[in-house]
Amino acid sequence: MIKIIAFGASSSKNSINKKLASFVANKIAPEEATIIDLNDFEMPIYSEDRHSDEGVPKKALEFKKIINESNGLVISLAEHNGSYTSAFKNIYDWISVIEKTVWGNKPILLMSTSDGARGGKSVLETALSRFSRQSNFDIPHFILPNFSENFSEEFGITNQTLLNELKKQIIEFKKQVDTLLDSGYN
């Protein structure tokens, strides 16, 4: 069985990115999808001085452990001013000092959504560029523009063209997870 970890890279209680990540993770592995909330991993703002003086926060270690115990990650990025949210960036900064390979060489399905026509395209491109440098896999990715028009709480993605594109990305992600499992690597 595959164990998928999914999260919306936002601290919003009603994060549309968390809704998208949850929808997709449950399509991939309904019995083994764990949805995490970044609010459960709030910690001090990263700084080299704090790291040197106080070490790595327990919550950063817990987050990294969850990633390392998974077989794949579904991440949907919220975009704040064209970049990562501060909540996500802070967690990313902390876990990057724990282990050089931040995402543990796990397959990643990277997504973004917003209520705008670009759907978080800038942040997705930034993350895709950065995460690809540390990945053994090509990273499947998907943008859902105009979330309120193209997503239903009951049915998920309602635009058939976008849903078909997502299905292609999910197939690629599943192949990567299968490759990882077949190799005996967790």
Query: Residue ranges per domain, the chain?
Result: 4-182
User: Which residues have a Cβ under 8 Å from the Cβ of 154 and sit 6 or more positions away?
Assistant: none
Give CA–CA dist 79/82, Å, rounded: 6
DSSP states of 112-131: EE-SSTTTTHHHHHHHHHHH
CA distance 98 to 49: 15
- pLDDT tens series, the chain, 186 aa: 789 999 999 999 999 999 999 999 999 998 889 999 999 999 999 999 999 999 999 999 999 999 999 999 999 999 998 899 999 999 999 999 999 899 999 999 999 999 999 999 999 999 999 999 999 899 999 999 999 999 999 999 999 999 999 999 999 999 999 999 888 766
Instruction: Look up the pTM and report it.
Output: 0.96
CATH fold label, 4-182: Rossmann fold (3.40.50)
* Enclosing H/E stretch for 27: helix 16-28
Q: Which residues pair with 75 in a beta bridge?
A: 7, 110
The β-bridge partners of 4 are 33, 72
d(CA 68, CA 48): 24
Q: Is 30 left (phi over 0), alpha (psi -120 to 50) or beta?
A: alpha
Q: What tokens were used for 68?
A: 């390392």
Note the Cα 5 to chain centre separation in Å: 8
pLDDT at position 67 is: 96
